Structures are given as structure tokens and as C-alpha cells.
Structure 1
Amino acid sequence: MNLDQIKYILEVAKEKSLTRAASNLHVSTPAISKSISQLEKELGITIFHRSRQGTVPTTEGKKIINSGLEILSILDELQKDLATGTITKTFKIGCGPSLTYVIYDAYLLFKEENSHVQIEIIEMDQDEILKALKYKEIDIAFSPFDIEELKNANMQDSMVFDLIYTGHACVYVSKHSSLYHKDIIYTEDIKDEKVVLYNSKRAQLLNEKFLKNVQPFLTSNNVEVLRTSVLYGHAICIIYDFSFKNNSDVKNGNLAAIPLGNPNLINFDFWSIRPNNTGISVEVSNFQHKVIKLLRA
């Protein structure tokens, strides 16, 4: 398929006539007819039905037309970028809330090398991520899942799943907390503590396991609210080991991440997930590499 053939097909589809399409494009009718026939033979399909009512696309032809429209749109954008001297790329990233800070740090590292790439980071719960991937609303996602969740989602054939990190739960406390200097915190140590909880299905399961009898101080679906609550000593928080580890308040000692010493401690697998029919661009692969590097640092 070449660009002329795409233009011919789109014009015929618009005019429903080979003759009018040829006139509009300033070529002969036989030239357009021959070009489309050659493409039909090459692809092994029929693109148009020709009848007294006009020339109308077949089901296969409609797919070719839609693809042709996308190609011309991409070429138009490329020409505009070349005219202004800038070529930009854009991709969207979905991330579980516990990964927000890691994804942002990866973004800062990525932009140092890829100033031409625009990134939109969208914080999502697990169910939202799977739905967005299914409908191709995001290019890649980073989130915790257990293997059964992925199997039950019935997306093995349409998605690529890469296990990028296995983390564990820990307790984040402020330097003002009586727990601050502990090496390990056990469930009985926090039975009288005020706790902030992330409001998600996975977080609820986590908290039901470790905090059955603890009354939450606050629930929120904003990790910054959780971090601030802990920072100022209002409460403690059970969250993944890496969630705040690169945050300045952890590095300067205002916050501490203390392992949760529980015999039933569960590890959590974190995955990158992307559609398997789109391939992975150099930029997306580069971003994924930076996320993995930060998680494993």
C-alpha cells in the first residue's frame, strides 16, 4: 500500500464514485480503478462494491479506510512538527497510588534525556487500570497485582505482563512517634495507634489483615494526604516499603519506614502491563527501565 492508494480509497469512499474521485484528484478514472484493484489483489480482499447505487466500501474496506484516515492524520501532525522544528511524542501512564512517587521520580530522570516526549501520569486503582488498558486509554501501567487477579481478568492473550518488583508492607511513622526507633513493628505495637488508610480495594484487604481492630484516623485516596498525616505525627500508615523511600522526608529522617514483623506477612508483586499488539516504543521501554531501577535501588 502506498500513499497515493490511500488517497484514492479515501476520495472514492467520500464521493462514492470513481469518476468524481478521479476528477477531484486530477487523475484518470482508469488510473484510480487500476490502483485500487492492484491493492485488492495484494491484500486479498475486496475494498469496494461497485453497483448502480455507487461505489461503497465493504466491511474490510471500512477497516482500510479507518486505517488510512489515521495514517494521513499522523502524517499531517508530522508535517506540522517538521515545519515548526519540533517533533513531540506523547504517551499515557497509569499507576497504582502506592507507586505515585516512584513514577514521578522516574519521570524526572526520563525528561532529562527525552525533552521531546510528553507524558501524562494517571493515578488509578487496579480495576481502573485493567479497564483503561483494555480500551487502550493508556500506553502502559505500573501497579501491584497478584497472579490470580491477572488470570481472572482474562487478559493474558491481549496484554504483556512483566514482573518488575516484589515488595512488602511496612509501617511509616514520623520522628515524633514512639515507634520511630524500633527495628521491627508487630501488630500488637500498633493496636492503640491512629492509622491513616488508603481507600482502595487492595488497601482494604491489607488493612483487614493487619489492622482488624484498629479504628482509622482518616481514609483517603490521595497518597500525599497520607504522607502529610504521618509526617506531622497525626497517625501512622501501613503501605509498601518503597512508597516514600526516595522522599526527602525519609532521607532527612523526618519519616521512617519500619518493617512489619508479622508471621503472616505477605509479599506483593508489582507489574508493568501493556497491550501486546502495539509493541513497546524506545521511549516507553526507557521509562520502564527507570521505574525498575528506582524500585530496586
Structure 2
Amino acid sequence: MHIEQFEYVIEVARRGNISKAADRLHVSHSAVSQAISSLEAELGIPIFIRSRSGSTFTDKGEAVLKLSYEIMNKITELKELGHHSKEMPGSLSISASAIFFSTFLLEAIKSFKLEYPQIQMEIDSNTLVPIIEKAKSFQTDIGLIMGPDETHKEVSRYMNARILYTIKLMVAVSKNSPLAKMDVITPKEMLNYPLVIRNERPNRKTWEDIFSRYGQGNILCYTNNDEVMKNVIANDLAIGFFTDLMKKDPLVVRGDICLIPYFDPIEVPNYHLICIQAKNKYSSIVEKEFIKCLLESIESYKSEL
């Protein structure tokens, strides 16, 4: 057995097929295919089911993947003993909700790369469930999500979950809306206007609770696209929930969108920005240092709100 074989297994799991894994690893397709076939022969079990649509794991292959991560975690741990952290080679993968990209994540990435220029970063924006699945299955090193107490409690059962920031829920309205001059907005007042709702389970659940207490609202649309939400609101087509972190958004700074505190006399849900990682994954120096940069960027961002 060779270390590269375990690395190849992990990369095929991340990419979904051998060709993409080979491209990412800068080796030939045949090198990856032969290395995995050799490992399968040595173990006496099939690891992947190969098809035109990609490579999927067999039941025994899932166990091989888990052990491959454990082996590579230990190798990373050993390598770190012989390197100063700022000279550490390697990579870091991050999957994050859109709110992170529109607030402090880019500043955290900038600070991190200045300190650790040799680290190759892979970053993607996604929605809640895919981010959780990618972090849980080791396809990404760090997942950054937004969700209420229930989400934090749920992911904490099978992942390492750390609350980075507890947000303040705000109602986003057009500058031309009659609600723009309000000091606070209640759910009853919101139900008098068309609504744009983020199409993720926790957000839908929040609105279902509101509807059950105060009556059904007029839903203009569901969307996960922040730009669509902001443009719908700025053009006075609907109102919706955003967070206090949006105060530095250009549409808010320019005055096209007004953010009004939300007040529900019965219950205001607590929403958090949460960092998640696989529970049995070794947290490398690189990952710890990035999270440190992220927390510093959050503090800096909060001080400017």
C-alpha cells in the first residue's frame, strides 16, 4: 500500500469521478485508476462502482474512505511536527453560505493568504444541506452555515459545530415602503405585504411558525439567491428577512433598502453563523489558523456595524 492510494480514494470521493480527481491532483487519469485498482486487488474488495456518470462507493468502499481519512489525518499531524505553521504546505477547502461571502469571509481569506501564501485554497458557495453533507463526508475541511438554535443542536449531534456569531434578525424593506420609517416591525405587520423567503428548511420553518400563529402570508417567491432577494426588496415588490450583517451592503448604504429590527412578542428565533467540521477529522494547524482569521474578521466587521 502507498499513501498516494489513500489520497486518490479521498479525492475521487470529493470530485465524484476519477477524471476530476486526476485533474485536481495533477496526475494522469490512468495513474489514479491503476492506483485504486491496485488497492482494490490488495484488499480483495471493490471500493468504487464505476459508471459513465461517475464513481460511487460500495459498502466496503465507504469503510475504506473513512480509514483513508484517518490515515491522511495522522500523516498531516506528523508533517506538522516538522514545519513552522507559516511554512506549512498543503490545501484548505471551504464551503460556505452566501451570507459569509457578502460580509466578512473575503477579508478573512485575504488575511489568511497573507500569512500562509503556500496554502492552496478551494472555496465554494452553497446552500445549507449540501454544505452539511460535504463537511460530514470529508469533502470539505470547513463548512460555514447559518441556522437557528435547532440547526446548531442537530448538527452538533454528529459534527463539531461552533457558533461564530449570533445574528440579529432584521426586516428588509424598500425605501419606498410604508414600513421604512418604522422603529420595529412585527410579524402581523409583515403579513400585510408580499414576502420573499429564503428557500432553506430553517427559514421556511421560521415562516411556517409565523403563519401558524398569525395567519397565512402572501408569498411572492422562494429563492436562495441573495441578489434576487435584494433586488425584489429594493424594487418594493416584497419584504423579507435579512440580518444585521447586511448593514454594510451597498444597497443598504445607498438607502435603497432599509433594515428594521424584527419584534415578535411571542418568539424571536435565534439565528447563528456556525462553523462545522467532521467529528472524527483531525483539525490541522492550517484549519485552526483559518478559523482564527475568521473570528478576527468577524470582530472587526462587528465593530464597524
Which is further off, 273-282 or 137-146? 273-282
8 Å CA contact 2:170, 2:244 repeated in 1: yes
What is the aligned counterpart of 1:130 among 129, 132, 140?
Answer: 132
The alpha-carbon deviation at position 259 of structure 1 amounts to: 0.6
- How many pairs align? 224
> How much has 1:248 moved relative to structure 2?
1.6
Matched, 1:272 2:278: no
Matched, 1:284 2:287: no
* Structure 2 partner of 1:219: 222
Structure 2, unaligned runs of 5 or more: 6-41, 46-66, 80-87
* 2:252 corresponds to 1:246: no
Structure 1 residue 111: deviation in Å? 6.7
Structure 1 partner of 2:299: 293
Q: Give the equivalent residue in structure 1 for 2:240.
A: 237
Distance (whole Å) between structure 2 residues aligned to residue 213 and residue 99 of structure 1: 31
Partner of residue 56, structure 2: none
Give per-residue Cα distances to partners, 1:144-176, cap 9 Å, x unaligned. 3455545544755xx432221112321011212
Q: Structure 1 residues 153, 108: closer, same or farther in 2, change over 3 A?
A: closer
Q: Which residue of 1 aligns with 2:62?
A: none
8 Å contact from structure 1 (residues 106, 290) kept in 2: no
Q: Which residue of structure 1 aligns with residue 61 of structure 2?
A: none
Unaligned runs of 5+ residues in structure 1 are 1-8, 14-55, 76-86
- 2:231 corresponds, among 228, 233, 239, to 228
Distance in 2 between the 1:289 and 1:139 partners? 17
Partner of residue 257 from structure 1, selected from 259, 282, 288: 259
What does residue 168 of structure 2 align with?
A: 168
Equivalent position of 1:106 in the other structure: 107
Change (3 A) 1:124 1:238: same
TM-score w.r.t. structure 1 length?
0.62
For residues 78-227 of structure 1, the aligned pairs below 5 Å read 90-107=91-108, 109-110=110-111, 113=114, 116=117, 117-146=119-148, 148-153=150-155, 155-156=157-158, 159-211=159-211, 212-227=215-230
Q: How far apart, in 2, do the equivalents of 1:153 and 1:58 lie? A: 35
TM-superposed CA distance for 1:291, in Å, is 4.4
* Larger helix share, 1 or 2: 2
What one-letter code is carried by the residue in structure 2 that aligns with 1:277?
Y
The one-letter amino acid of 1:278's match is S
Residues 278, 109 of structure 1: alpha-carbon distance in 2 compared, 3 angstrom cutoff: closer
Could you tell me how far apart the structure 1 residues matched to 2:172 and 2:229 are? 10
CA distance in 2, matches of 1:271, 1:251: 26
Bigger Rg, structure 1 or 2: 1
Distance of aligned partners of 1:147 and 1:169 in 2 relative to their CA distance in 1, 3 Å threshold: closer
Looking at structure 1, the residues matched to 191 and 132 of structure 2 have their Cα atoms a distance apart, in angstroms, of 35
